[in-house]
Structure 1
């Protein structure tokens, strides 16, 4: 019995060793896959770092372009505002000139002999003067002559 008991124990140990070897082989296969995934992950991380660096450079370039455009637009807005002010002054002066011209045209026309003739027929000079006066007094809401 002691001999068969020894064989049974050794058989049991041999079976356990075979199970351990099989499990070690399974673990080895899993570790190989894990190593392959690690290399793949390292490559992906390297690609992400490269893409991040490229994006940072692109963002820097965009910031520079925005700064240049902002300065250019600011200068153009300042120039446009000055030109608008200058045009407004010129329009005011032109209104003054038209008023003076209409006064001159009214003063230069010959006096009408009879009031009856004046009411029946308006002279050409009076029509021009009235049109000039109406033109100078018409204004849009932004101050420009209509």
Structure 2
């Protein structure tokens, strides 16, 4: 549902961790798993939870905090665009710069509130929702 004209509010506020304590603890203690699950759904299964979570870990080990923030704010922007969400309380990059864990928790809660089983992944969610998913083409070597 990209291209919304009327923006809607997030299902919970940036500091709404009490709305989902399980997701909050997951984000606090295993942010790579939380991010991987979010990224797999936002990417519509094109990249696995494991690959996205690994990217999160590698960025955390790297020296580029700015690169990590940009990576995360891009996913927030894509989630907002897909679901017509308002850019609030401030710009995506500001939210991730100053409230990174809260922003990750908010994205996790938003997808859950939209009916996604965050542990199941993209393809299982589509099957559960009765939607068909086109098979992924292997982009390997060709003749």
Bucket of the pairwise TM-score, normalised by the shorter protein: under 0.3
* Higher radius of gyration, 1 or 2: 1
Greater helix share, structure number: 1
TM-score scaled by length of structure 1: 0.18
The structure showing larger relative contact order (alpha-carbon pairs under 8 Å, at least 6 residues apart) is 2
Query: Could you tell me the TM-score, scaled by structure 2's length?
Result: 0.19
